[in-house]
Structure 1
Amino acid sequence: MSPFEDIRPYYDIEVNQAIREILDHPMLKAMMNFTFPDHEDSYWKDLMLHCHSIRDFQINFIYPGVKKVLEKSSNGLTTSGFEKLEKDTSYLFISNHRDIILDTSLLNASLFEHGLFMTTSAIGDNLVKKPFLKHLSKMTRNFIIKRGLPARELLESSRTVSAFIRHSLLRENRSVWIAQREGRTKDGNDMTHKGVLKMIGMASDEGEHFLDYFKRLNVVPISISYEYDPTDMLKMPELLAKANQEVYVKGENEDFNTLLSGIIGQKKRIHIHVGDCLNDRIDQIKENNQGQVKQLQALTDLIDDQIILGYKLWPTKYIAHDLLTGTAQYSSEYSPEEKALFEARFRRGVDQKNPLAVRSFLAMYANPVSNQKRLLEEIQS
């Protein structure tokens, strides 16, 4: 039995049986009716019954579904930096994280369109509690991160995940996607948690310097930017609780509702930027001959810098920054029509009599502008 049995995606030989188990599920019907609106159910069901691999499932069903989502709920996806990736090389993509499903789905669609292998991707077990969603995630090459474990079990789980990431990258030559932190960024501040890097580094060889191990993994930061966050209003209760120093407790179906809102909600324009492979910069960190704590911080900062600099600043970000600061500093970056559209959404969804709610919402959009500005000033100084 595989040491990764509890967390791994399906093997190709398991895909067809998994399809048969969910073929008549109403959620699958809804997905496929959305993806293939001009066909009877018998069309996609017959296709699925002849599907025998994850790649077939992704290309024939998930990819057309993603394209339909882009068509119905966005003004298109643009990309940059994919030309830097080599076709026969596996990469550890460390990404900012805004949307539960779309981040990885859009990245994999882009990899496919550039003739590159799609990733195996991390997903929290809180998102796959329903049997249908667990089947679907395992059929789209997700591996499971277990949440909320006691300390001893968490350590063991982290070791297993770390070993799986190593196995995927170094044994299977399969790229891996993982978010820079646990959960989505809700306040617009894309910061890598050192705990994620420590977990990844647990699978290094005995006596191997952790920076040498990270070089073997070919770390590439990814920046994904939505002009409008389709789940922005849903993030508000947690942001307000955090601002009030209160413990936030999710509703029973909150993750699922957020998942659906991310897929069907309006996003307008979307951009994915592929940063540089960090190997040369990792060499520089090691040559500085600092202690491991400072080296880990330097690696964390390096990932953050690439994600922040690669983040596409849409007009909505500049509008929010000007509204938050009460200035017209970035008025050249947006039109009066774009500002009116953003303000209408903002005033419709946020209680204007609650200053904390107003600040929290605007900061969600404005913080990427502030972070990029700060970083560029540091580079130039």
Structure 2
Amino acid sequence: MASKFDSIRPYEDADLPVVLNKLFNNKEFISSLVAFKFPSWPRFMRPVLGFITRQYILKQMAGVKTLGDFQNLVGPYMERMINTTTESFTVSGLDNLDPTQACLFISNHRDIALDPAFVNWALYVKGHDTVRIAVGDNLLQKEWVADLIRLNKCFIVKRSATDRREKLSAAKLLSEYIEFTLNTDRQHIWIAQKKDELKTEMTKQIPQLFLC
């Protein structure tokens, strides 16, 4: 049943060896990390910085065998980012969550990467499972970007479909995957909507912006 969703699902533990090998050998991925980490360094240094960056990542990832290991590795970086770039970060309502119950989180958002990252951090520090994140394929033009986000429990919403029949098929598959995730895999899901798209009737029933 799960293989039905291979084109949109997040990566699983069994996918890690192949996906990580692809990422570590993708020159554009390494170059992007170098440009982000060393923006003021001269361009002629980038090949050397790329080699050093790749070796550092390989060392960091040597002990990563599962997606849980991957998130544990990312955790300290998320904590440092929150501590250095925000004045405060507070969360309420998580004590009301049943840890045995999968939840559908629905919220408005400003940043498709940071918003669910904050949700995941709040859940992570409280010992809850993190969410699977809905991301539109319009944001995944590069293969290495798609690989990276699917490592972080993201699943794909196929917005690029143009034909009516293709749109219906994609929507049906997505709906089935969400139902499968919540009721069979028992995993949380996070979906973003614009504020004005949230129906009043729904928001009245979601005081904490989640459905359980």
TM-score range, shorter chain: 0.7 to 0.9
- Gap change, CA 1:157 and 1:86, over 3 Å in 2: same
- Gap change, CA 1:27 and 1:55, over 3 Å in 2: farther
Partner of 1:46: 59
- Gap change, CA 1:302 and 1:59, over 3 Å in 2: farther
Partner of 1:138: 150
Task: Give the Cα separation in 1 of the matches to 2:97 and 2:201.
Answer: 19
Task: Give the Cα separation in 1 of the matches to 2:132 and 2:119.
Answer: 11
Partner of 2:44: none
Map 1:187-336 onto structure 2 (within 5 A): 190-192=195-197, 300-305=199-204
Partner of 2:127: 115
- Gap change, CA 1:97 and 1:306, over 3 Å in 2: farther
- 2:31 aligns with one of 23, 26, 38: 26
RCO comparison, higher one (Cα < 8 Å, 6+): 2
**Contact 1:119 1:177 (C-alpha < 8 Å) held by counterparts:** yes
- Gap change, CA 1:135 and 1:86, over 3 Å in 2: same
Q: 2:11 aligned with 1:10, yes or no?
A: yes
Partner of 2:190: 177
SS in 1 for 2:127: coil
- Cα deviation, 1:318-354, whole Å, max 9, x if unaligned, reads xxxxxxxxxxxxxxxxxxxxxxxxxxxxxxxxxxxxx
Partner of 2:79: 67
Task: Give the Cα separation in 2 of the matches to 1:161 and 1:77.
Answer: 32
- Cα deviation, 1:161-182, whole Å, max 9, x if unaligned, reads 0111111111111111111x3x
Amino acid across the alignment from 2:32: M
State the Cα distance separating 1:3 from its structure 2 match: 1.2
Q: 2:177 aligned with 1:167, yes or no?
A: no
Q: Output the aligned Cα RMSD.
A: 2.5
Question: Percent identity among equivalent residues?
Answer: 29
**Structure 2 unmatched runs, 5+:** 39-51
- Gap change, CA 1:304 and 1:192, over 3 Å in 2: farther
Amino acid across the alignment from 2:200: D
Map 1:147-158 onto structure 2 (within 5 A): 147-149=159-161, 150-158=163-171
Task: Give the Cα separation in 2 of the matches to 1:26 and 1:156.
Answer: 37
Task: Give the Cα separation in 2 of the matches to 1:118 and 1:106.
Answer: 10
Q: What is the TM-score normalised by the length of structure 1?
A: 0.46
Task: Give the Cα separation in 1 of the matches to 2:140 and 2:153.
Answer: 13
**Contact 2:24 2:58 (C-alpha < 8 Å) held by counterparts:** yes
Task: Give the Cα separation in 1 of the matches to 2:35 and 2:205.
Answer: 38
Task: Give the Cα separation in 2 of the matches to 1:56 and 1:306.
Answer: 35
- Gap change, CA 1:152 and 1:84, over 3 Å in 2: same
SS in 2 for 1:177: strand
State the Cα distance separating 1:26 from its structure 2 match: 2.4
**Structure 1 unmatched runs, 5+:** 34-39, 194-299, 312-381
Amino acid across the alignment from 1:157: A
Task: Give the Cα separation in 1 of the matches to 2:132 and 2:172.
Answer: 17
Partner of 1:316: none
- Cα deviation, 1:76-134, whole Å, max 9, x if unaligned, reads 31111111111121111111122120111110111010110011110000111111210
State the Cα distance separating 1:151 from its structure 2 match: 1.7
Task: Give the Cα separation in 2 of the matches to 1:43 and 1:88.
Answer: 37
